[in-house]
Amino acid sequence: MPQKRSPSIKTSSARVLIVEDDEPTRDALMLKLASMDIRAAAAKDGEEAIQQIHQQPWDVIVVDILLPKQNGFTVLEEVRREPHCARATVFVFTNLSGAEHKGRALELGAHAFFEKTKMSLHDIAQKIAQALDKKQ
């Protein structure tokens, strides 16, 4: 049975952007969020993500680092340059590991760095829900 969020939380106005080039991962995370009554938009590469970041504010952004066209570090830089995204919670969810990548992501404004091999889609969906709850 799908896990639903508390009915008192307004998710229809929440803006979540998933930046992931791997279609199965992106689709699975979007489905998991939908099962929790969280609607999200998606970008399949860094260039598309940057366009969406400039178009509207986002509450939560989940970004991979290894992306076509523009990498996730460039996306993080653009998020922090965009005034209407300054308050966005940004999670890095990537196959990269190591202190160097994590340190750079956090330095660029990511709130957390998660390795795909160590965190399930369910867990990242829970982190997104918690971040949205804090913004309500």
Q: What is the mean pLDDT of residues 26-43?
A: 95
| Residue 10 in this model has a pLDDT that exceeds 80 | no
- Do 18 and 91 form a contact (C-beta atoms < 8 A)? no
Query: What is the predicted pLDDT for the residue at 134?
Result: 87
> Which pLDDT score, from 0 to 100, does residue 86 have?
83
On whether the CB atoms of residues 122 and 32 are closer than 8 A, the answer is yes
* Average pLDDT of the chain, as a whole number: 89
Q: End-to-end distance of the chain based on CA atoms, in angstroms?
A: 26
Please check whether residue 111 is in contact with residue 89, taking contact to mean a CB–CB distance below 8 angstroms: yes
pLDDT in tens, 79-103: 999 998 888 999 999 998 889 999 9
What is 16-135's CATH number?
A: 3.40.50.2300
State the pTM of this model: 0.89
Please give the Cα distance from 125 to 62 (Å, whole number): 10
Domain-wise residue ranges, the chain = 16-135
Three-state SS for 115?
strand
